[in-house]
Amino acid sequence: AVLETFDSGVLTLVLNRPDKLNAFNEEMHMALRTGLERARDDTDVRAVLLTGEGRGFCAGQDLGDRDPRKGGPAPDLGHTLETFYNPTLRLLRDLPKPVICAVNGVAAGAGANIALACDIVLAAQSAKFIQAFSKIGLIPDAGGSWSLTRILGEPRAKALMMTAEPLTAQTAMDWGLIWRAIPDEDLMTEAQSLALRLAAGPTVGLGLTKMLVQAAATSDLDTQLDAERDAQRTAGQTADYAEGVTAFLEKRAPNFRGD
Ligand code: LHQ
């Protein structure tokens, strides 16, 4: 349910249930988790690229898996989140490497919020982000109630979530929700080139940068200054820092190894 390829430091994960617009079933959840765990544990992996097969990125939860007409007790959706979605969101957040998301088409429900949990989000011009949850009586999950509120502020976050109106890639970019909207035909080339560039970067420093930015959401300035001090101490001890300064002084491009 997830295609995995590795090349030049980039682990590419492709959500692969195109007939269902890559909606999540349990198998796809576990395959994505396995891929992210590999990205975390394999030191050869220095960046992750997440995208979807076919015309959609991800339509959120597979609603065919939970047909109420089939009867039986109502499923415990809190359990579904705790078991399947929340571990993935935490893996994305805690992975000390850049995760690039190429949103190749519609991203709805949890699919939208998983995309927005990635570190750098590129989206095809034709892609749309839909907080689809309210259409079926649910609340925005997969971290959306947190991330959208933080990025957009309450007025836009509430309106998007309560109306479930599709947001175009262009507006998502204009609102600062994603890094760039890209012409459809250029999306994958640009996303791959960005992933390769980051995979050839100073991996420890990039990972620390990610952690600092995320910590800023809940830190005061004093705490953050302390965190910067500690992180810079670590970065300053890497071989990549020595290489970066040496390359600068020698007026050449650095050759970062990721340690
Ligand atoms: C789908 C789906 C889908 C199954 C398209 N499931 N088949 C967490 C915890 C536990 C439970 C519940 O949920 C959650 C989190 C969530 O993610 S809740 C939100 C779930 N997602 C949605 O509500 C979105 C449902 N999908 C749509 O609204 C539309 O499909 C969008 C707007 C994404 C795309 O519309 P179109 O481009 O017009 O495509 P389509 O609707 O024709 O879909 C194509 C096919 O994909 C179609 O199958 P078919 O056999 O008729 O060709 C759809 O049934 C199937 N599909 N989303 N979530």
Cβ proximity of 23 and 91 under 8 Å: no
C-alpha 169 to ligand 1 mean position (Å): 19
C-alpha 132 to ligand 1 mean position (Å): 9
* Percentage with pLDDT > 70 across the chain: 100
What's the confidence (pLDDT) of residue 210? Answer: 98
Query: Which two three-digit tokens encode residue 20?
Result: 């269902």
- Looking from the CA of residue 64, the nearest atom of ligand 1 is 4
Token pair 């979605």: residue: 85
Cβ proximity of 143 and 164 under 8 Å: no
**pLDDT tens by residue, 217-234:** 999 999 999 999 999 999
C-alpha 19 to ligand 1 mean position (Å): 10
Task: Give the pLDDT band (50/70/90) at residue 72.
Answer: confident
What's the confidence (pLDDT) of residue 11? Answer: 99
What's the confidence (pLDDT) of residue 224? Answer: 98
Query: Which two three-digit tokens encode residue 146?
Result: 């947190």
C-alpha 244 to ligand 1 mean position (Å): 47
Q: Per-residue pLDDT averaged across 110-128, rounded?
A: 98
Cβ proximity of 209 and 215 under 8 Å: no
What's the confidence (pLDDT) of residue 250? Answer: 98
For the entire predicted model, the pTM comes to 0.98
Ligand 1 pocket, mutate which of 63, 76, 89, 161 (most atoms under 8 A from CB): 63
Taking the domains of the chain in order of start, what are their residue ranges?
2-199, 203-249
What's the confidence (pLDDT) of residue 16? Answer: 98
Whether 66 has a pLDDT exceeding 80, the answer reads: no
Q: Per-residue pLDDT averaged across 101-112, rounded?
A: 99
Q: What does the alpha-carbon distance between residue 92 and residue 39 come to, in Å, rounded to a whole number?
A: 10
> Kindly report the CA angle at 194 between 181 and 251, in degrees rounded to 5?
130
Token pair 């007025």: residue: 155
With a CB cutoff of 8 Å and minimum separation 6, the contacts of 219 are: 227
What's the confidence (pLDDT) of residue 73? Answer: 86
What's the confidence (pLDDT) of residue 41? Answer: 98
CATH number of the 203-249 domain? 1.10.12
Q: What does the alpha-carbon distance between residue 191 and residue 183 come to, in Å, rounded to a whole number?
A: 12
What's the confidence (pLDDT) of residue 67? Answer: 85
Query: Which two three-digit tokens encode residue 133?
Result: 């949850």
Q: Return the CATH fold of 2-199.
A: 2-enoyl-CoA Hydratase; Chain A, domain 1 (3.90.226)
Cα 157 from chain centroid (whole Å): 19
Ligand 1 pocket, mutate which of 17, 20, 25 (most atoms under 8 A from CB): 20
Burial of 166 (0-12, 13-18, 19+ CB in 10 A): middle
- Looking from the CA of residue 141, the nearest atom of ligand 1 is 15
Answer yes or no: is the ipTM higher than 0.85.
Answer: yes
Q: What does the alpha-carbon distance between residue 3 and residue 12 come to, in Å, rounded to a whole number?
A: 8
Query: Which two three-digit tokens encode residue 204?
Result: 């420890």
What's the confidence (pLDDT) of residue 65? Answer: 85
C-alpha 123 to ligand 1 mean position (Å): 19
**pLDDT tens by residue, 131-182:** 999 999 999 999 999 999 999 999 999 999 999 999 999 999 999 999 999 9
| Cβ count within 10 A of residue 174 | 12
| Cβ count within 10 A of residue 182 | 21
C-alpha 63 to ligand 1 mean position (Å): 7
